[in-house]
Structure formats: structure tokens, C-alpha cells
Amino acid sequence: MTETIPQADWTDATARARVWFESLRDRICAAFEAIEREAGSDACFTYTPWNREHAGEPVENGGGGVQGLMKGKVFEKVGVNVSTVGGVFSPEFARTINGADPENPTFTATGISLVAHMANPHVPAVHMNTRFLTTRKAWFGGGGDLNPPIPYDEDTAEFHAAFKAACDAHDEGYYPRFKAWADDYFYIPHRRVHRGVGGIFYDHLECPDMDGFEANFAFTRDVGEAFLDVFPRLVRRRMGMPFTEAEKHQQLVWRGRYAEFNLVYDRGTLFGLKTGGNIDAILMSLPPEAIWA
């Protein structure tokens, strides 16, 4: 059996993953800005760098990230964040993290996270993230899920088909497994409803050696490419549709449910708060406007 590679030996792999996540961010942001131009808007992303802190003080060699944010005519609020951080988990939090050792709870993490809330309620909101983490183990996680206030079967089928194709290229068992995981994860128990129409979610896709890293990194790149291919098509399909006050109200109520999930159940929100992430970047997933009615 191949022994797990020590954490210190994943430095180059982490750097490669970071470069990929940054390049994906740049292409996604360019695609979204192009849609704004088509709608007659000059909205652009603004980029705010941040450094990891603990108790308000910078963490030496703790890393950081860049928050990308745009508010436009089509994208009412969209954040595309990339971060690369490292350091030490608290002993209590380490017990909740795959492979973390409470006696030596060091970690590194790099990833991209995206949430888009749309101006037109016919255009689905969306979430996507992919990440690479190392503790005593190394693994990839991520996925994408569609969150339409007004669902369309055509959009749902196309979104799922894109991710199924990405999964099937690597393992035909991935899509049914990761779709079911998304259905289970993106659920609001206290409301007894799903957050949206699903997608895929995967975590702890472990890399016991460099061959495992290359295979899982290739899959994670294909997940990002699938998102970049399918979501702009869905936006263009719906962004010019007229909508009523009742449909806008439906969107705002749905956004309240979305906010509840992210604040109460989302693991990424907790990870960012527990590791000294930038608060604005962590909470960029919250909608610009919502109601509870």
C-alpha cells in the first residue's frame, strides 16, 4: 500500500492548484463581464486582497486571498473569491476536519468560491466552489449547484448534464454519487426544503500519492470547465425575460431561504470563520436583498 505523502511535500501541488483556481476565476469574471456588456452595462469586478488574521492580528505566513465582487444590471451581486491559507486549526476544530491531527493540527487550503445572485428572478442563482486541502491527508472537494427562484426543467437538465459529462469522463460512478451528496447536503432541515435544484457535491477526494493528485486535479479542473461552459448559457437564455412584482417577491423570499442555509448549515462558512478568513469574502454568499414573509 502506498503511504500518504507528508504534508510538507504537497507544496508544489498546492501551488499548481492555486494557479488553476486563479486562472479559472479570471475566465469566469471575464465571461460575466461580457454578459453585462451585452445588457448595456459597464459593470466590472473589483478585487480586494486580504490577509489571514487571528483575533484581529495578521497571521505570519498565514496566506490570504482576493475577493472579486461585481454588482451589475444582470448580476445583481456576484462574488468570485480565491484564497490560499495555512496555519494551525484549534484542537476542537481539528477534530472535525479530515486528516487533521489534534496534536499537530497544521493545514493548507487553496480554492475558488463563487456565488451569483441575479437581478431577474427568471435567471437562476448559482454556487460553485472547488478546493484542495492538506492536513495529514490531502484531498479535493467542491461542486456546483443551481438555485433558481423560478425553476425551469430545461435549465435544470442542462446544468446537470454538464456536470454528468464532467463526472463520466473520470468515473461513471461519480455523478450518481455526487448528485445524491448534493441533494443531501443542500437541504434546509428546519424548512424541509432543498436550497435549489441540485448539482454535484464532493469532498475528501483523497490523494494518497501524486498519481492520485493528478487524477483528482484533472477531475476538479473539469468541474470548473463544466460550470464555465453551462452557466453563462443559462444566464443569456433568461436575462431578457420580463417579470412581475409577484415573481420578484418570490425571488426575495427564496433568497431568505438561501441565506438561512449559508448561515446555519454551510461548512464553507464555518471553515472561513474558524480559520481567520476575510469576513466580507466569507459572507459574500449572502444576497443583496431578501425578505422573510
For residue 71, which amino acid is it? K
pLDDT at 3: 47
On the CB side of 34, CA atoms within 13 Å amount to 11
Q: Which of 127, 160, 194, 204 is catalytic?
A: 127
Across the chain, mean pLDDT equals 91
- Annotation marks residue 127 as catalytic: yes
- How far is residue 95's CA from residue 80's CA, in Å, rounded to a whole number? 29
- How far is residue 270's CA from residue 11's CA, in Å, rounded to a whole number? 25
pLDDT at 94: 63
Cβ partners under 8 Å of residue 9, min gap 6? none
**Eight-class DSSP state of 124:** P
Residue 164 in domain:
yes
Phi then psi for residue 172, to 5 deg, are -65, -10
pLDDT at 2: 42
- List of the chain residues with pLDDT < 70: 1-8, 53-61, 94, 99-100, 276
Residue 199 in domain:
yes
Range of the domain at 234: 7-285
Residue 190 in domain:
yes
- How far is residue 178's CA from residue 214's CA, in Å, rounded to a whole number? 20
Residue 291 in domain:
no
- Terminal-residue alpha carbon distance, the chain: 56
CATH number at residue 149: 3.40.1500.10
Residue 277 in domain:
yes
pLDDT at 88: 78
Residue 156 in domain:
yes
Residue 290 in domain:
no
Residue 102 in domain:
yes
pLDDT at 54: 61
Cβ partners under 8 Å of residue 51, min gap 6? 58, 59, 62, 63, 64
Q: Which helix (H) or strand (E) holds 49?
A: strand 46-51
Cell of 42: 459597464
In the chain, the number of structural domains is 1
Cβ partners under 8 Å of residue 15, min gap 6? none
For residue 8, which amino acid is it? A
Phi then psi for residue 120, to 5 deg, are -90, 125
Collapse the DSSP code of 44 into the 3-class scheme (helix H, G, I; strand E, B; otherwise coil) and give the result: coil
Question: How far, CA to CA in Å, does 88 sit from each of 19, 39, 47, 208, 255?
Answer: 23, 46, 27, 22, 34
pTM of the model: 0.91
Which tens digit of pLDDT belongs to each residue from 139-177?
Answer: 999 999 999 999 999 999 999 999 999 999 999 999 999
